[in-house]
Amino acid sequence: MSTTKHNPPPPAGRWVRIPDGTKVRHRSEAYDGVIDGLTEIVSGSERNPDGKTQYRINVGDNARLLVSEDHLNILLDNKNLVLLARESELYRRNVTDRLRAVFAEDRFVTIGNKEPPSPNK
């Protein structure tokens, strides 16, 4: 007879991924883009909470940048809903609620506000 250990899942098991199509802004460099997937990173220190990936951000002109979640703000529309390409308001409301449950309020910015957050916050 074997015994199995029931360990709680690691923090990455509770990671909430920002969905593809979500519009984001780099927190310090202030460029906008759209998440278009994940890329597994073999080396380097800055990764998403899953410990192995970074977001692939489409910044236009067929350019993609790799960025970890810690460097991204999530863009909101004038109704304070997450901006997602071609998605219904009901779906965007659901995504907004899910992301607000895991991210601090300062990670959400309205589309018109181009200023990076104050480092004193």
CATH number, domain of 60, equals 2.30.30
Residue 48: inside a domain: yes
pLDDT exceeds cutoff 60 at 121: no
Q: What is the DSSP letter of 118?
A: P
Residue 23: inside a domain: yes
Phi and psi based region of residue 101 (left: phi greater than 0; alpha: psi -120 to 50; beta: remaining): alpha
**56 CA to centre of own chain:** 10
In sequence order, the β-bridge partners of residue 22 are 84
When computed from its CA atoms, the radius of gyration of the chain, rounded to whole angstroms, is: 16
Residue 119: inside a domain: no
pLDDT exceeds cutoff 60 at 14: yes
Q: Which structural domain range is residue 52 located in?
A: 16-108
pLDDT in tens, 27-70: 999 899 999 999 998 777 789 998 899 999 999 888 999 999 99
Residue 28: inside a domain: yes
- Look at the chain and report how many structural domains it folds into: 1
Residue 72: inside a domain: yes
Spatial contact of 75 and 41, defined as CB atoms under 8 Å apart: no
105 phi/psi in degrees, rounded to 5 = -60, -35
